Structure 1
């Protein structure tokens, strides 16, 4: 087991070996207490990352370098573990369904990633078969192939891919996914750093053409929270995931506007638990605690942490 575990506001310190296993067991017990108190059978997490190991390590290297390129920001990876250890831990948390959010940063990667994801889903039955896409020649064909092979959710990353989601190459793809009713978790907000095509306007153009597209806006649209709430209120198939929102880490950088909380409460049937596991700089349970301390009630928590995802994916 890797010796690296990140410190956090919830009190976990860097530990390794036997001590690390004890810390993981204690955290797992705390996570299970959370959903047991709510009377849930477990959690549904729509935003977790599993990908080819060499790709994941490049992602970790990016976060390791964040402190060097953005003064005052550090992003220690809390769960820098081997794949089998990460799977064992998320199951110990009681996450009954999760995703393999993977994404290309350039053309020519998506189809290969989808092939890996098909294999991962076949050997990981509690993972919702996840696929991805990129605006490139042939995208409609390989997305259709992924749908026919059983993909249940797609990941799109406008910031990393640096593409316009309204690119004409993607228009038939959005139509295909809307018709199939397959959700797309999309990072289209401008956090942690804005891109040319991030923010609500580009994805708003997509929704104007495909109003039945089941978009799940990652990170509640951070930092354009209220603008993405506008889109969710306008389009009934738009949902939001909680990934990193309200955590001590995110609140220091892009705090959620508290006057908008009633709007989030009113959208309680379309907010879904997301965590960014394993690529988070704090313990998994912290995401649950910060949702609880919003004070929106147990019914809202039950819906967000399990029922909305279970309904969406037919669990």
Structure 2
């Protein structure tokens, strides 16, 4: 992964799809995937990095990730406020975790939400996927969209979005 970053001239990766959340919520999410909850269906989707928060953050740093998000996902009404409070409390976030917020879509639908545009960023869900991080970076390269696109997806778009 170091060679990948060096070849693109990146100081590190910025991953916008990592899951850090209150421990109680995290264990419920892990259980949901362990038991193939209804939204998963027949897919086998094991948690490959079932570790304490500090260990998961250290693993991301080993991968060359310099910043990441908590990727908080409320799955029922009333959860967003609690998750946003947790995310805003810097003592609860691991170092290098970018401040983000979340919403429950049904509670926040309307013209504003409909007008949001998706911007491509590194979106590698490392807590659930069994495919290696290196494999995922090579999969991005195989898209053959050029080094400028790779730099944008793996770093520059998130730098602009999060004002890093």
Alignment correspondent of 1:297:
146
Superposed displacement of residue 239, structure 1: 2.6
Superposed displacement of residue 87, structure 1: 0.7
Q: Structure 1: state its 5+ residue gaps.
A: 1-30, 135-157, 175-202, 208-214, 216-237, 241-270
Count of equivalent residues: 163
> Residues 48, 105 of structure 1: CA spacing in aligned structure 2 closer, same or farther, 3 A cutoff?
same
Q: Structure 2: state its 5+ residue gaps.
A: none
Alignment correspondent of 2:41:
70
CA distance in 1, matches of 2:97, 2:91: 6
C-alpha offsets along residues 47-72 of structure 1, whole Å, 9 cap, x if unaligned? 2110011211111111122299733x
- 2:156 aligned with 1:307: yes
Alignment correspondent of 2:56:
86
TM-score normalised by structure 2 residue count: 0.85
Structure 1's consecutive aligned runs of 4 or more residues displaced over 6 angstroms after TM superposition are none
- 2:137 aligned with 1:288: yes
Q: 1:166 aligns with which of 90, 105, 109?
A: 109
TM-score normalised by structure 1 residue count: 0.47
Superposed displacement of residue 104, structure 1: 1.9
CA distance in 2, matches of 1:58, 1:67: 11
> Residues 121, 43 of structure 1: CA spacing in aligned structure 2 closer, same or farther, 3 A cutoff?
farther
User: How large is the RMSD of aligned CA atoms in angstroms?
Assistant: 2.4
Contact 1:44 1:273 in 2 (8 A): yes
CA distance in 1, matches of 2:5, 2:91: 25
Kindly name which structure, 1 or 2, has the bigger radius of gyration based on alpha carbons: 1
The DSSP-based 3-state class of the residue aligned with 1:97 is strand
